[in-house]
A and B are shown apart, each in its own frame.
Chain A
Amino acid sequence: MSDGLKTDPLVIAGREYSSRLIMGTGGVDNFDLLSRALIASGTQLTTVAMRRVNATAGVSVLDVLRDLKIDVLPNTAGCYTAAEAILTAQLAREALETDWVKLEVIADERTLLPEPIELVTAAEALIKDGFTVLPYTNDDPILARRLEHVGCAAVMPLGAPIGSGMGIRNPHNISLIVEGAGVPVVLDAGIGTASEAAQAMELGCSAVLLASAVTRAKDPIAMATAMRLAVESGRLAAGAGRIPVREFGVASSPTQGRATL
């Protein structure tokens, strides 16, 4: 039995992280507030959309991450085709000197749901080109398996559409993905509050990726702290062996062992 305080690190493609919370930066324009929220979240890996950032520009989100010594995970947000996503990833690799990419290929603007065929096409091409690919995918166990088969370093199923804050709409599918996966499963998108992040970890996910839940909260720093704690406690609970669910109550203090007053 462990004291429950030491958890094993998250390992993706050979890199180790003690934090299992991956953060996003979308929509943030107050870098000061962002950097305080990132610190509070304890994150060691943060994803940045490459379309709105010039890696050679002066102050940008990238400088914030550099100052905080947080690894950058460039993403291909805003891409609708494999061609766009591949080009964006290549530009990011050149500019940031990382071959990691969070691969996003979106089907349409309204739902922001992943386009599965373009996603697999882009993943295959990028992996052939030497990238470490972390794809943002639907909560479809078969698609997740397919992505793993083409060589993705992790699979990142959505809990609900990006920015919706609806939580995990299909926990059963997430469990199925976790059961079938030989690579880390990162719950990506849909988280609105801390209990949902804990739930993702309880379902067996290796990490949680979120952005709006923190950046659009009234108090981003408090919410970032809550998310850090939730991911930690969800992870601990997942490993602690929860009690079986019963139909009727069982007294937690049976007659044996009762204090004699």
Chain B
Amino acid sequence: MPTVWGQLRRTLIDVSTNAGSASSDLLVVGGGAIGLAIAWEAARNGRSVRICDPDPGHGASWVAAGMLAPINEAHFGEDDRLPVALAALNSWKSFAAEVTQATGQPIGLREEGSIVVAYDTDDRVATDRMRLFHASLGLTATELTIAECRKLEPWLSPDIAGGTLVEGDLSVNNRALVEALLRANELCGVEFDRRHVSAIQLDTTGARARGVIFDDGDHANADVVVLAAGTWSALVQGLPAQVVPPVHPRKGQILRLRATAEQPQPLTRSLIALVQGSNVYLVPRSNGELVIGATQEDRGFHTSVTAGGIWELLRDARLVIPAIGEMEIGEMAAGLRPATPDNAAIVGRTEIDGLLIATGHGRNGILFTPLTAQIINDLIEGRAPIAQA
């Protein structure tokens, strides 16, 4: 579980933990953004749904920055992912509206786009190369002069080398999202079982999922089981080796600053900066929070926050937005992205009847939340999914 310093709001109301061998249509293992969105959609489709998670909503989905920026995730050799990422982005506005309509809770969707900034001329060469690559994929991004960058974002340092405006990008307050999804599930009668799942239970043939077994030996049955336990999905027992999803933890350290009376929120758009070859992003919230992320470290299930990790973020962020030096530190945290060997998500059916998997979303799990929920529910309902992640 992520270690979080600072304030951690847990407004979750525990609706139920009726133990025993209860049964439901659908059982979702893991109540992160992915599991919560799947469960909610299924409940709206009229299914009886149970989410099993000892601490729903407080995995990677809580720690994340909430950038919804597929273009900046399109890397060389990974461009085959782009159509799916764009489909995910396209599903966001209506999804956000539905979540807010169902719960009355706003989730801070921002539509100002994002701005990519190069700090020095070497960085400029690198960002230009990416812009040309993106153009070759048919994506539009507008090259900006330094003056144009600073007209859009006046708190940007004059000491930058140039930028690019990406108009379609969005961002969301992922914590508000998680809280709204928890509420939406509650309102639809989804049951929360706050226990840790130790294994998926198969029938005697081993070809069909029956339900799950908890740490305490108790079990719950369901027609369909969805394994959506983020980076911990590979630790759930009971599955043949070839079905276990190849996810591993990729640690990210992230920082939340707060605007003060002396230093208001310095940004209106998400800022993605390349600073002397090092990547940093700053995501503004309307509540005055500025999220600065994130390191990428392969260090197993460790979630310690290190001086060096936070320093790198602050060093790079302060070079592009000097004014952040005046903001207050709200929180320093680290989370574990569910990473896969090829950076593509694992979403769909398995060779075991009644078992679906939705994990491996890596850096983009918030972006993929609505699309993955839709794909999984299309599969549950026997509809052809609109896209494969």
Contacts and interface: CB of A to CB of B under 8 A. Distances in A.
Given A59-B246, A110-B276, A54 B342 contact: no
B119 to A, nearest CB: 12
Contacts, number: 60
B76 A52 contact: no
A218 B249 contact: no
Nearest to B295: A52
Interface stretch (A25-33, A146-154, A175-183, A202-210): A25-33
B78 A53 contact: no
Per DSSP, chain A at the interface is loop
B93 interface: no
A217 B300 CA distance: 28
B328 interface: no
B277 interface: yes
A220 B299 CA distance: 25
Contact of B77 (A57, A61, A220): A220
B300 A54 contact: yes
B342 A57 contact: no
Contact of B249 (A29, A35, A58, A217): A58
**Looking at chain B, what size class is its interface with the partner chain?**
20 to 34
B302 to A, nearest CB: 7
A92 to B, nearest CB: 14
Nearest to A56: B300
B296 interface: yes
Given A59-B248, A218-B133, A52 B342 contact: no
Contacts of A109: 276
B351 interface: no
Given A54-B300, A57-B299, A32 B342 contact: yes
B250 interface: yes
B159 interface: no
Contacts of B48: none
B343 A30 contact: yes
B341 interface: yes
Given A29-B250, A30-B77, A163-B277, A61 B298 contact: yes
Contacts of B296: 29
B300 to A, nearest CB: 3
Q: Which 6 A-B pairs have the closest CB atoms?
A: A57-B300, A32-B342, A59-B248, A54-B299, A31-B341, A58-B248
Interface of A: 29-33, 35, 52-54, 56-61, 109-110, 163, 217-220
27 contacts: A29-B250, A29-B296, A30-B77, A30-B78, A30-B342, A30-B343, A31-B342, A32-B341, A33-B77, A33-B78, A35-B341, A52-B297, A52-B298, A53-B298, A53-B299, A54-B298, A57-B248, A57-B249, A57-B299, A57-B300, A57-B301, A58-B248, A58-B249, A58-B301, A60-B300, A219-B77, A220-B77
Given A29-B296, A57-B298, 7 more contacts: A32-B342, A54-B298, A58-B248, A58-B301, A59-B298, A220-B76, A220-B77
Interface of B: 75-78, 133, 234, 246, 248-250, 276-277, 296-302, 339, 341-343
